[in-house]
Amino acid sequence: MTTYAQIQKKIALLQRQADSLRDKEVAGVIDRIKVAISHYGLTAQQLGFGGSGASPKAARGTRKSTATGSRYSDGAGGEWSGRGPRPRWLREALAAGRSLEDFRVSGAPAKAAPPARKAARAQRRPSSVVYRDDAGHSWTGRGPQPRWLKEALAQGKTLSELAG
């Protein structure tokens, strides 16, 4: 029968082998990339690493709270970004009487402001065109066509007949 310690040794050996193979593969990939860069004369900007030549999505990157991406840390390896459910270590510490501020990573922002796009959505102009039928149904022209409109169009009516 295999013991726990023997399995752990096998896992450690396999992990070392996997790391070694990965390092070899990465070196080969890097070599192939360098050859392609020199062959095609690519620049850092063309690859998305430069200033204005990078695509807006690449330039924007991912939004992180801090350099490590965590806003809260217990100092023993437990980290939380502030998004999603709170991890067990944080829930237990809060239940024991600690405060959330005790775990805040220095330099991490407190709470992000809500995105500006929500305010813009609330201020959208009302539609100037409204489509109505005799049964009292209406549609502003935004979003998918409702069933009553699809049926009316299938019966031969036009949008201009329903506008009003």
* 110 vs 124: which has the higher pLDDT: 124
CB 107 within 8 A of CB 66: yes
pLDDT at 125 over 90: no
Q: Is the dihedral of CA 27, 33, 38, 41 positive or negative?
A: negative
Answer whether residue 54 shows pLDDT above 50.
Answer: no
Q: Which of 46-50, 60-64, 107-111, 158-162 has the lowest mean pLDDT?
A: 60-64
> Do residues 139 and 130 touch, judged by C-beta distance below 8 A?
yes
| More confident site: 55 or 49 | 49
Residues paired with 131 in a beta bridge: 139, 163
